[in-house]
Amino acid sequence: MGKVLAVTGNQAIAEAMRQINPDVCAAYPITPSTEVMQRFASFVANGKVDTELVTVESEHSAMSACIGASAAGGRVMTATSSQGLALMWEMLHIASGMRLPVVMTLVNRALSAPINIHGDHSDGMGARDCGWIQLWSENAQEAYDNLIQAIRIAEHDDVRLPAMVCLDGFIISHSIESMTFLPDEVVRDFIGEFRPKHPLLDVNNPVTYGPLVLPDYFMEFKRQQHEAMLKAKDVVLQVAEEFEKVSGRSYGLFEAYRLDDAELAIVVLNSAAGTCKDVVDEYRDRGVKVGLLKPRLFRPFPYKEVAEALSGAKVIGVLDRAESFGGFGPMYMEIASAMMSNGTNPVMIDKIYGLGGRDFMPEHAAQLIDELKEILDTGKVKLYKDYLGVRE
Amino acid sequence: MKGWRELEIGAVTEAGSADEYNTGSWRAFRPRWIEENCIQCLFCWIYCPDSAITVKDGKRGEFDYKHCKGCGICAVECPGKKGKKAIVMEEEGK
Ligand code: SF4
Ligand code: SF4
């Protein structure tokens, strides 16, 4: 068994990185992910890891250096937040298009303007279509476990895609909670050696990365990326199964909480799921059939499995901690797609909550469940998309 | 043409394959080398943004017109001999 320690989410991530011991790490500090790299830099300075730490002048350069190092044949990691991810955006597509399994921690934070350093999901959701695998984490334990599994998922021969592990800025990154670490050698054995596919440092077998590909072949390469994403779903489950053997902790594509006989369902990512689960328990005690689904894998999105898990629900309330101005929130769109392609047609409402770190309190979850219940009883929906916890 | 299942992932291809493409066809102006004015300083070779100046045994040879884009940088940089340029640009097709 590993050690149980009280740590911040960032500390958990830095510890996972120490245990993973990547070949190269290029990063630029940004709140709230700064502590990850600050702690990791001290591991480098103190000789606790063999990593080449590249201190760059921006996140665009950080991701560029990660791409170069990964193409060279190294196991590569980084961490960022918010504007940092936004600045990487161009390079995110290049990492995935070149099929380089870079693994990044994204400590979720709102995007400016107005400037705000607190947690919401607009950064990660903004990178939804960049071709990166996305694993989301409720707490420090999940973030740590996800990061270790992400290495195996990203580097799997059927996948070879970059992956990001998301956790809520401040709420998780800076709060101290107790969690269980795996022993160093268990992590080392679990992730194994990285086997690069076409390392540029293999000078006897020179290759070109990043050639010009015109309309005659471009779509074929995009189709390959889609295929890799489809396969990633199975790989996520395989890796989770192996992870359970070494850790005793079990992971799926999502967490279904008291969902089996639920008429009302909440869908929510990350830390707010913890708050919602408590409130679900209270309502269950009062006989309300309510359950919760917390997606873990957001890209690729497991449409079929999610739809099956939600197929008994008559009214679904989706919580989105990111806005798509003038549209439904990103999570709502996924759940709507899942239900539609499964042929089920529940009533679904979308609530935008927690932007810029606005506290999500138990009463907000209660307010949502009350509204879902009212829809179930009356069949009437006031607004399909609305805000939760905003002052009028 | 190959289907998506047959292609190497990530568009990783053999090294140096750009050599096979005739990108010189983009040229609107064509550099001409006047050998008697050339002092073999190799500035043209250093400045050429492509690799369209061929060099053998430390001496420049003909332009590689398959890849020269006709940008004219070599002609600007060429010091030539006694004020006479060793590279001049001429309109293509004239
Ligand atoms: S014209 Fe431009 S591309 Fe052609 S040889 Fe001169 S410098 Fe190179
Ligand atoms: S720059 Fe002019 S003088 Fe120098 S090597 Fe080239 S052609 Fe000759």
B40-70: pLDDT as tens digits? 999 999 999 999 999 999 999 999 999 999 9
What phi and psi, each to the nearest 5 degrees, are found at residue A388?
-120, 125
Which residue, among A297, A309, A182, A183, has the nearest Cα to A249 in the 3D structure? A182
**Helix and strand element counts for chain A (H, E):** 12, 16
Does any ligand 2 atom lie closer than 6 A to the CB of residue B38? yes
B3 belongs to a structural domain? no
Neighbours of A13 (CB within 10 A): 31
pLDDT truncated to tens, each residue of chain A (392 aa)? 689 999 999 999 999 999 999 999 999 999 999 999 999 999 999 999 999 999 999 999 999 999 999 999 999 999 999 999 999 999 999 999 999 999 999 999 999 999 999 999 999 999 999 999 999 999 999 999 999 999 999 999 999 999 999 999 999 999 999 999 999 999 999 999 999 999 999 999 999 999 999 999 999 999 999 999 999 999 999 999 999 999 999 999 999 999 999 999 999 999 999 999 999 999 999 999 999 999 999 999 999 999 999 999 999 999 999 999 999 999 999 999 999 999 999 999 999 999 999 999 999 999 999 999 999 999 999 999 999 999 99
Residue B8 in any domain: the answer is: no
Nearest bound ligand to the CA of residue B53: 1
Name the burial class of residue A53, with classes exposed (0-12), middle (13-18) and buried (19+) by CB atoms within 10 angstroms of its CB.
Answer: middle
Which has more confidence, A316 or B20?
A316
Q: Which ligand 2 atom sits closest to the C-alpha of B87?
A: 7
Cβ–Cβ < 8 Å for A290, A279: no
B90 has pLDDT over 80: yes
Asked if A324 and A334 touch (Cβ cutoff 8 Å), the reply is no
A255-387: what fold? Rossmann fold (3.40.50)
Q: Which of B3, B7, B12 sits opposite A207 (nearest CB)?
A: B12
Residue B12 lies in a domain: no
Q: Decide: B85 in ligand 2 pocket, CB within 6 A.
A: no
pLDDT of residue A1: 62
Ligand nearest to the CA of B87: 2
Q: At what angle do helices A362-378 and A272-285 cross, to 10 degrees?
A: 50
Distance from the alpha carbon of residue B71 to the mean position of ligand 2, in angstroms: 16
| CATH code (residue B72) | 3.30.70.20
Tell me the whole-structure pTM to 2 decimals.
0.93
Chain B contact set for A221 (CB, 8 A): 4, 7, 9-11
Compute the distance from residue A218 Cα to the ligand 1 centre, in Å: 29
Per residue in A290-303, pLDDT (tens digit) is 999 999 999 999 99
CATH pick for A4-247 out of 3.40.50.300, 3.40.1400.10, 3.20.20.140, 3.40.50.970: 3.40.50.970
The distance of A161 to chain B (nearest Cα, Å) reads 10
The response to whether residue B48 sits with its C-beta less than 6 Å from ligand 2 reads no
Tell me whether residue B5 is in a domain: no
What is the tally of structural domains in chain B?
1
- Give A-chain residues touching B13 at CB under 8 angstroms: 207-208, 211
Cβ–ligand 2 contact at B54 (below 6 Å):
no
- H or E, element range at B89: strand B87-91
- CA distance linking residue A28 with residue A51, whole number of Å: 16
Q: How far is A199 from chain B (nearest CA, A)?
A: 10
Predicted local confidence at residue A182, as pLDDT: 98
- Contact, A93 vs A100, CB < 8 A? no
- The whole-number pLDDT of residue B94 equals 79
Q: Which residues is B31 bridged to in the sheet?
A: B89
Percentage helix, strand, coil for chain B under 3-state DSSP, each rounded to 5: 25, 25, 50
Quick one: pLDDT at residue B9?
Answer: 97
Query: Tokens 């779509």, residue?
Result: A219
Which chain B residue shows the shortest CA-CA distance from A220?
A: B4
C-beta pairs of A230-234 under 8 Å, 24+ apart in sequence: A230/A300, A231/A158, A231/A159, A232/A133, A232/A153, A232/A156, A232/A158, A232/A159, A232/A161, A232/A300, A233/A297, A233/A300, A233/A302, A234/A158
8-state DSSP, A110: P
Ligand 2: which of B45, B54, B78 to mutate, judged by most atoms within 8 Å of the beta carbon?
A: B78
Number of Cβ pairs < 8 A linking chain A and chain B = 60
Say what the alpha-carbon torsion angle A379, A386, A81, A17 is, to the nearest 10 degrees: -20
**Minimal Cα–Cα distance from B20 to chain A, Å?**
13
The one-letter amino acid at A6? A
Domain that holds residue B61: 20-91
Q: Give the CB-side neighbour count of residue A88, counting CA atoms within 13 A.
A: 34
Residue B12 in tokens: 């990783």
- Half-sphere exposure for A231 (CA within 13 Å, toward CB): 15
Quick one: which ligand is closest to B31's CA? 1
Closest by CA position to A388, among listed A359, A364, A361, A358: A364
Show me where the domains of chain A are located.
4-247, 255-387
Bond before B31 cis per omega within 30 degrees: no
pLDDT category, B18, cuts 50, 70, 90? Answer: confident
Please report whether residue B46 resides in a domain.
yes
CA angle A224, A230, A233 (to 5 degrees): 140
Q: Are strands A315-320 and A297-299 parallel, antiparallel or unpaired?
A: unpaired
- Cis peptide bond prior to A101, omega within 30° of 0: no
Write down the number of H helices and E strands in chain B: 2, 5
A347-352 and A315-320 strand pairing: parallel
Among the listed residues A323, A328, A315, A318, the one whose alpha carbon sits nearest the alpha carbon of residue A293: A318
Relative to beta strand B53-56, strand B59-63 is antiparallel
A228, A96, A75, A79: which is closest to A162 by C-alpha? A96
